Structure 1
Amino acid sequence: MSRISVRGFAVASATAVTTVGAVVGVASGNVQPSGDNLEATAADATLLADIPVGQQAQIQVSSLTQQADAQAAAADAAAQKSAEEAARIQAAKTAKAKKEAAEEKAEREAEAKAERASRDSVRDASSFSAKSSYSVSEVQAIARQMIPGDQFQCFSNIVDHESSWNYQAQNASSGAYGLVQALPGSKMSSAGDDWQTNPATQIKWGLNYMNDRYGSPCGAWSFWQANNWY
């Protein structure tokens, strides 16, 4: 066992094969080993022969165990590398998701800020000087300054259908009056005594009505689309 442990099972096995080949070659007359080779071959053959059969089997099992250990270590290394790569990919996905969430939040906050600024910039009807008459473009300009920016188009859609922006429009059959066709028109007196002649007063009343009844001009427009009235 001591000598085989120095040379190793693989060397002993290979030497055994070499020795057998050498002996056969000499016997057949095909090979003429030199003196040194013949001595080494004989010595290696003696070395292998010195090891009991049971110990030879143990050495072979030990070699196979070492191979299995090496393969297991390689598999562990590959698994660790795979896990590290998966962790890296997941970290990248998480970072991307956080970035997108932050961008969406910033966008919502910017929209909310713009909406607040729009509402803060809204003018009251009393801030407009009264005139004897108003053109359609003048009435629309007043409405743009009184209606929040995100609600103006909905308000405009309703006024387009109700009065075509004629602040003196009157329905002969129902008595509805003004830009938003209040019924009766006298309802608009709650916004100002000049409700018949001042479009700003009519816009103020109409906006309050839409907010109170439908939540907003856009809510009123959605109802109008479904029912052709509001």
Structure 2
Amino acid sequence: MRIMITGATSGIGYQLALAYARQGHQVIACGRNQAKLDQLITQNLNITSLCFDLTEYQDFPDLREPLDMLIFNAGDCEYIDDSLNFDAKMFERVININLISVAYGLEKWLKHINKSGRLVLVSSSAALLPLPRAEAYGTSKAGLTYLGRTLAVSLKEHEISVTTVHPGFVDTPLTQKNNFPMPMLINSKEAAIKITQGIEKGKSEINFPLVFVLLMKCFSFLPLSIWQRLASRMV
């Protein structure tokens, strides 16, 4: 297979690139740090790279060959610590990288996916439940999850499958900035294994760690007033 992965310079994307390359697939690793992409390439000859910034939509590269799978994995997280003094610029930054850049990527590359190919959107378990300080991150991931679910319907006639991924806490450079407890934390290699296994099974949604995501879904069934009282204790 020929697989394109955004956000491949670290974390889950890095491990996905290595995992698929070691399986013998041709991997196009995308990121904005050429030095890190070069380090990735030296580990496996099946990896090539494209260096660009996902927020610079006009600079998205053209593809010369078709894809069998396109994985949108890149993302960022910033928290709103003072919701009364809402930071619209920060909100815009997070929405742009986590959601709007995916839309431009779809416009540019979706038509290059072969029939019987697959689109993968790496969302977050944060999309399942309103969490304190996550107004920007949660909104972007909830939008990405909705996008994945709707594309799964509309792309069926084009014989393109869609998988939406909801990871819990994964130890990456992004989560290492968090200053709060992260229950059921797993490493990025474990996360990549869960994703590749789920894709191999043809799953439309991949949720892990399973117990963590099930707890999130159970909380989502609570009356909103009760959840708001519980969530307020996390602030």
Give the structure with the higher percent helix. Answer: 1
Short-chain TM bin:
under 0.3
The structure whose Rg is larger is 1
Output the TM-score relative to the length of structure 1. Answer: 0.21
Superposition TM-score, scaled by structure 2 size: 0.21
Greater RCO (CA < 8 Å, at least 6 residues apart): 2
